[in-house]
């Protein structure tokens, strides 16, 4: 059996309808996993592509701006797919404004989705994983887990928090058979970065700093996700893996 084989595993992927979440869900399925695709927008396309690979896929509608759907997400996954081995906490939102003008509503919306729901979904999945003595949790961090950024105070705070939570959960759960790690994508061409790519000055300054010379694509994250979801990463805990085309090395 390959170290990277996910045959027989079941994964929850949040925000799986598009972009990074879709790419990770497809990569995990290609490695053999069955997928519970979670999101506000039904991940019909993602599920169809997974089923075309011969894997099982279910769609779970859930708005992770609150933690209300968290127990149902885990229960539906267990009930319909018969297990839960992998959680990818990918769902996230962003709000942009100068810090002097930033509103409480935009602060709360981002923190609730990007940090609070990440913790409580990890908690719910973690209880099951600890009980079975095995699990892989992959949180999606950001370059702003390491850097400050501009005009995105709640996003930077949330992604810095994701980095800290990843380490804390690893400290508590590594000895219980649950690996908790994170992927920090660089500048990836997704809906969240439309505004940056549409701004000629910001786009040029970003491109000038990426050693790889291009924006990332969702599929660039697939290999890292399969690695952290597989037996190949069994002795890796609390790590934040940058997939950034060399951005942080610059």
Q: Give me the long-range contacts of 99-105 (CB less than 8 A, separation at least 24).
A: 99/151, 99/153, 102/153, 102/154
Q: Give CA separation, 217 vs 24, 185, 188, 205, in Å.
A: 11, 10, 5, 18
Nearest-angstrom CA–CA distance, 178 and 134: 5
Q: Is 67 helix (H, G, I), strand (E, B) or coil?
A: coil
Bridge partners of residue 240, in order along the sequence:
182
Nearest-angstrom CA–CA distance, 36 and 43: 10
DSSP string, 173-217: HGGGTEEEEEEEE-SB-SGGGHHHHHSHHHHHHHHHH-TTSS-B-
Nearest alpha-carbon partner for 155 in 208, 193, 212: 193
- Can you list the positions of beta strands (E) in the chain? 10-14, 34-39, 57-61, 86-89, 135-140, 178-185, 240-243
CB 180 within 8 A of CB 238: yes
Report the helix count and the strand count for the chain, using DSSP H and E: 9, 7
Q: Catalytic pick from 134, 155, 187, 235? A: 155
CA 196 vs. chain centroid, Å, equals 21
Residue 155 known to be catalytic? yes
**Catalytic (active-site) positions:** 155
């Amino acid at each position: 059996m390959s170290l990277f084989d996910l045959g027989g595993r079941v994964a929850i992927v949040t925000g799986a309808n598009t972009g990074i979440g879709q790419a990770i869900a497809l990569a995990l399925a290609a490695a053999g996993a069955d997928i519970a695709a979670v999101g506000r927008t039904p991940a019909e396309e993602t599920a169809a592509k997974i089923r075309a690979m011969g894997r099982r896929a279910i769609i779970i509608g859930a708005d992770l701006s609150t933690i209300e759907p968290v127990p149902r997400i885990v229960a539906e996954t267990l009930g319909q797919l018969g297990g839960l081995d992998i959680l990818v906490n990918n769902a996230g939102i962003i709000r942009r404004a100068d810090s002097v003008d930033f509103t409480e509503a935009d602060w709360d919306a981002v923190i609730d989705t990007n940090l609070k729901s990440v913790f409580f979904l990890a908690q719910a999945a973690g209880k099951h994983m600890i009980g079975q003595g095995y699990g892989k949790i992959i949180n999606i961090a950001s370059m702003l887990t390491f850097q400050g950024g501009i005009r995105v105070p709640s996003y930077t705070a949330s992604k810095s928090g994701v980095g800290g939570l990843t380490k804390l959960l690893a400290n508590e759960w590594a000895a219980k058979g649950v690996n908790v790690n994170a992927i920090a994508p660089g500048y990836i061409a997704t809906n969240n970065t439309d505004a940056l790519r549409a701004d000629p000055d910001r786009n040029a300054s970003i491109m000038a700093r990426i050693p790889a010379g291009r924006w990332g694509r969702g599929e660039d994250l697939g290999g890292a996700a399969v690695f952290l979801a597989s037996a190949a990463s069994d002795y890796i805990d609390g790590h934040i893996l940058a997939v950034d085309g060399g951005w942080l090395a610059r």
